[in-house]
Structure 1
Amino acid sequence: MAPATVAARLLPDPTAVRPRRPLARGGRFPQGVMAGQPDTRGITLWTQLQEPELRGALELEVARDPGFARVVHRQRVPVRANAAGTASARVEGAPLRPHEQYWYRFATADRSSPVGRFRTLPPADSATPVRIGFWSCQMYFMGYFTGQAALADEDLDLVVCLGDYVYDTYLDLTRREPRPAGGSGVARTLPEYRAKYAVYRSDADLRRMHANHAFLPVWDDHEVANDYDADGVDGVGGAAFAARRAAGYRAWLEHMPVEHRPGTAPRVFRRARVGGLLDLFLLDARQYARAGGTLLGDAQRRWLLDGLTFSRAAWKLLGNPVMLMDMANTIDGAVIGAPKHSWQAHADERRLVGQTLRARGVDDVVSIAGDAHAFYAGVATTDGGSRGTPFATEVVAGTIAASNLATSALELVAPLTGPLAGGLGLAANPHLVFSNATAHGYTVVEARREELLVQLRAVDTILRPTASVRTLASLRVPRGRVAVERTG
């Protein structure tokens, strides 16, 4: 069975009464549905169609109710057969109103996709509090995505992935991931990267999270290769690496609810204004990185600094694939966990960003970071530790299912080892107020006018398909101060 692709931009349809004219017949929607790039009056809607024949059309419906009695937009979407079985469409304008909930579905002539829902963003003058969920790092082979099941049930305006949505590695641990015939221990080709997304989306909890929330993703390294940069990975560069990176990028773009113009370089750093209280800046810490040079690249760094400088939102959030803060070990105080493409390895650029924000008087900057496979909270300074000048607060959002100090059998003793390891981490890092490298889960941020509330949410297991969720810690960032307070 061959997959088909849809990629169309839907124009506003004031009448919203076009007749259904689906041409494709049969087919399945194995990867569910997704809604992405939300705006006050816009959304990108995505699905994957698998059908016997790669021709015809899908029909998209958007409604104000889950039963589709009040359809506000209906559009036939032409099917293309040249890219990975994905289907996406942009809906904008009159059919959608700010900060309202909608339901959507795709259909062939005789079969419908699962129903998804999304909430448009509040207008720029809104003082309504907003809630965003953040997560990163899910290894299919390491465990079940029980954190996604809990995230699906949260009341959120938006969910953000900070990278490592898939891992290029093939391993057989808690779950076995099918490997392409003749493949190596890592994905390298476009069919292999595409297969990664198909396997990961076979997880019902991941599909349910996507069906319940609008989504904004950014990539980190494992969507291509561990710790790669603009020059290559593990000493391999040139045409061979360029082909591998292009395959990883193409698969990511095909499988995410984001707009991209074919034939142009992908730009995944982006800004989302979420009401009047929050400005979100998602960063690309891989595509422009060069060893001994830059993490962000000149253009992205200027975009970030200028955007932060002129933002009028109460809170400026950085969606950071890698953490700003340094982490020192408990033995000799040396910085740990600093691969060649991290803020720790680009200390001069971090200092430049921090000093520029201080010089320009930019306050209330909060970094929400991924990559570390742990939960941390503290203050980011110009030197990364406790001796520099504070310029932002930071929360490291945890891992859905990746290796940490509670991986595999260690999960059984995590209730004992977690507090001990966390206490040692705080002692060695005075700029931290919270440390936990044994839990798995995600982070929820609620922006209010005078405070930013943070909940670190942890599941009790990733070794079984179901789990309970608890609040690991509650934090507060007060407006006008570079500080994190623990409230629970």
Structure 2
Amino acid sequence: MTHAQHSEELRAAARHFGRRRFLTVTGAAAALAFATQLPAAGAAAAAELDGRRVTEDPFTLGVASGDPLPGSVLLWTRLAPRPFEPEGGLPAERVSVRWELARDERFTRIVRRGRATAHPEFRHTVHVEVDHLDSDRVFFYRFRVGEWVSPVGRTRTAPAPGARNTALKLAAVSCQAYHDGYFTAYGHLAQEDVDVVFHLGDYLYEYAVNATGGARAYTDRALPAVFNRETLTLEDYRLRYALYKSDPDLRAAHAAHPFVVTWDDHETENNYAGDIPENGVPPEEFLLRRAAAYRAYWEHQPLRRPQQPQGPDMRMYRRLGFGRLAQFDILDTRQYRSDQAYGDGWHAPGPESDDPARTLTGAAQERWLLDGWRDSTARWNVLPQQVVFAERRDRPTADYTVSMDAWDGYTASRRRILAGAEAAGVENLMVLTGDVHVGIGLDIKADFGDPASRTVGTEIVATSIASGKNGADKPSNHDRIIQANPHVKLYNGRRGYATVELGTDSARADFRTVPYVTTPGAPIVTAGSLVTEAGNPGLTPA
């Protein structure tokens, strides 16, 4: 390669990575190598592997669907006969995958079928967007490679934009640290009658997982050493998704329901803020890590083409409608945020956290959200996002602190969002949140310093699937949180998920929990239930 050709490829890599500037030649060269790991076209494409040569089950990581639209479903799978090996057990060749969509589980009434290509450059993941379908209808799907047939998945399309639908049931999940316990709650969620599942972040954790699976304490198997290190490279993240998706309860939940996913921090690195890492590594090094994390995330999630990343950038915020009943504005509060105030952690609020220039969403996403609310005609405007929105003081005394990683560390950003909701005439605002490993029901107040101020919305915080290990019904800080925050209506520290039933007159949230996750097989109970009336925001016991 000539010097001129090399320089042009570096410039192409810089353009591929958008606005980012890599500060060293080494960083730019690494960016170039990453950017070129894309499927080739025409004669230069990888050779095709005959499906008859696949001698082991390639569907070890299950199937999934996501982002339901009125006339379209998105189907996902990954071919990985040996998922814990770096290449997944397949050669670097294309694989033709057949897919079928039917109205019934036995596939006697097939409505669509086709072929998709699993590219080795995307680690043989498949994303199929099936269009021109009936709205508000359940479908079943499966994939085939050679003689192998995948598990059957169940999905659905959304109601048409003007549909006068009167009921919708969703589930909210978050925070599934593999090393903290079993994903038992997902097994129960697979049996729930819900229309859609919102994953609110921390689908995986970047931390090492030892041979015994951490708190799972395996005695009948040993995990490979490749998992016993923090994820840094593209291969590290791909392998970690393979580990998580090997869990049978997670696979069951994905097969049972369409998922709408958004990330928080651990899919990349703990508490990163925009392009600022948790630790003091060079910017170009962190952005390469972020590019690897984002790419592996897209590869392994049921996401559509607009979400495919461009280097270290990936547009995750998007809008879904379910008839006239609900509009969902899915946020990304990690990629565009200002650095945490006061060095992160818990801190007393002050001028730095209240700086009007600080943002949790970035200016473009904030405008997108407020414009979408102005155009909304939905009964419920629901905001699936990552970190606690309402104020959350840690103690009922004047020396209280709040989390600088949550909206409390970005108070001007929160005020702008609430002012935008009021200006748009949003009457039934509901925020869905993850992150904190407890189930919380909160009223959103016009002025959190005045408990008697107007309630302008509600927030449902879904507890973790496994993160934090077993937890407790009444965490050690329960009484302090309740006393310090009169707008908190429920606080529970067990693992599980939340379900929310939206109706035309009211919404009901059930906090579903399991008593333990460090051993398998726990039962599920409803730890508490809250309701809110349409047009009269505020949570009360059901």
Separation of aligned partners in 1, 2:242 and 2:381: 34
CA pair 309-180 structure 1, distance change in 2 beyond 3 A: farther
SS of structure 2 residue aligned to 1:240: helix
CA contact (8 A) 1:325 1:385 kept: no
Distance 1:393 1:334, change over 3 A: farther
- 1:227 paired with 2:271, answer yes
* TM-score where L is the length of structure 1: 0.88
Q: Identify the residue that residue 253 of structure 1 maps to in structure 2.
A: 298
d(CA) in 2 for partners of 1:382, 1:187: 41
Counterpart secondary structure, 1:324 = coil
**Residue 281 of structure 2 corresponds to residue 236 of structure 1:** yes
**In terms of mean alpha carbon deviation, does 478-487 or 205-214 score higher?**
478-487
Separation (CA, whole Å) in 2 of partners of 1:284 and 1:205: 26
> What is the total number of aligned residue pairs between the two structures?
456
Deviation at 1:202, TM superposition (A): 1.1
Residue identity in the other structure for 2:387? V
| 2:208 maps to 1:170 | yes
| Counterpart Cα distance in 2 of 1:68 and 1:80 | 27
Partner residue of 1:428 out of 460, 484, 495 = 484
Residues 402, 409 of structure 2: 8 Å contact kept: no
- SS of 1:344 mapped into structure 2: helix
CA distance in 1, matches of 2:386, 2:398: 24
Q: CA deviation at 1:219?
A: 0.4
> In the alignment, what sits opposite 2:188?
150
Alignment of 1:399-418 (within 5 A): 399-403=464-468, 407=469, 411=471, 414=472, 417-418=474-475
Give the equivalent residue in structure 2 for 1:13. Answer: none
Distance 1:478-1:23 versus aligned 2 partners, 3 A rule: same
Q: Counterparts of 1:304-453 in structure 2 under 5 Å?
A: 304-330=369-395, 332=397, 334-336=399-401, 338-339=403-404, 341-382=405-446, 384=448, 386=450, 390-403=455-468, 407=469, 411=471, 414=472, 417-418=474-475, 421-436=477-492, 438-453=493-508
Deviation at 1:101, TM superposition (A): 1.2
Quick check: 1:166–1:223 contact (8 Å CA) kept in 2? yes
Residue in 2 aligned with 1:266? Answer: 314
SS at 1:169's partner residue?
A: coil
Secondary structure, in 3 states, of the residue corresponding to 1:98?
Answer: coil
Q: Which amino acid aligns with 1:116?
A: G
Q: Deviations over 1:51-73 (max 9, x none)?
A: 64423411001111111111111
The whole-number CA distance in structure 2 between the counterparts of 1:64 and 1:187 is: 40
For 1:172-191, list aligned pairs within 5 A: 172=210, 173-175=214-216, 178=223, 181=226, 185-191=229-235
State which of 202, 207, 216 in structure 1 corresponds to 2:260: 216
Contact 2:294–2:309 (8 Å) recurs in 1: no
Deviation at 1:337, TM superposition (A): 5.7
Is 1:386–1:431's contact at 8 Å kept on the other side of the alignment? no
Does the 8 Å contact 1:457/1:470 carry over to 2?
A: yes
Question: Match for residue 14 of structure 1?
Answer: none
Residue 64 of structure 1 aligns with an amino acid whose one-letter code is R
Which residue identity is paired with 1:433? Answer: K
Is residue 280 from structure 1 mapped to residue 328 from structure 2 by the alignment?
yes
CA contact (8 A) 1:6 1:78 kept: no
* Cα RMSD for the two superposed structures: 2.4
Q: What letter corresponds to residue 131 of structure 1 in structure 2?
A: K
Shift in alpha-carbon separation, 1:196–1:56, aligned structure 2, 3 A: closer
- Whose helix proportion is higher, 1 or 2? 2
Whether 2:109 is the aligned partner of 1:58: answer no
Query: Which residue of structure 2 lines up, in the alignment, with residue 99 of structure 1?
Result: 136
> Which residue type is aligned with residue 348 of structure 1?
A
Matched, 1:70 2:109: yes
Q: Is 1:290 aligned with 2:333?
A: no
- Secondary structure of the residue that 2:68 maps to in structure 1? coil
Q: CA deviation at 1:380?
A: 1.7
Instruction: Return closer, same or farther for 1:33/1:367 CA change in 2, 3 Å cut-off.
Output: same
- Shift of residue 133 of structure 1? 0.5
1:357-400 alpha-carbon deviations (Å, 9 max, x no partner): 22443211010111111111121235555456543211111111
Q: Which residue identity is paired with 2:143?
A: F
Shift of residue 309, structure 1, vs aligned partner: 2.3
Query: 1:463 Cα shift?
Result: 1.4
Structure 1 residues 28-37 or 80-89, which shifts more? 80-89
Q: 2:384 is paired with a residue of what secondary structure? A: strand
Is the deviation greater in 48-57 or in 106-115?
48-57
Choose the corresponding residue for 1:39, options 69, 92, 95. Answer: 69
Between the aligned partners of 2:165 and 2:376, the Cα distance in structure 1 is 15
1:60 aligned partner, one-letter code: W
- Whether the 8 Å contact between 2:373 and 2:424 is mirrored in structure 1 is no
Aligned twin of 1:479: 534
Q: Which has the larger radius of gyration?
A: 2
* In structure 2, C-alpha distance between the alignment counterparts of 1:464 and 1:186, rounded to whole Å: 24
- Quote the residue 1:82 is aligned against: 121
Percent identity of paired positions between Structure 1 and Structure 2: 34
CA distance in 1, matches of 2:225, 2:189: 31
Q: Contact between 1:385 and 1:431, CA under 8 Å: does it hold in 2? A: no
Q: Distance in 2 between matches of 1:77 and 1:296?
A: 35
**CA distance in 2 between partners of 1:232 and 1:179 (Å):** 31
Distance 1:78 1:379 in 2: 48
1:23 shift after superposition: 4.7
Supply the distance in 1 between the matched residues of 2:317 and 2:338 (Cα, whole angstroms): 17
Tell me the residue number matched to 1:469: 524
SS at match of 1:37: strand
| Residue 123 (1) aligns with residue 160 (2) | yes
Instruction: Give SS of 1:467's match.
Output: coil
CA shift in 2, pair 1:63/1:360, >3 Å: closer
CA distance in structure 2 between the partners assigned to 1:326 and 1:40 by the alignment: 36
Q: Distance in 1 between matches of 2:447 and 2:292?
A: 36
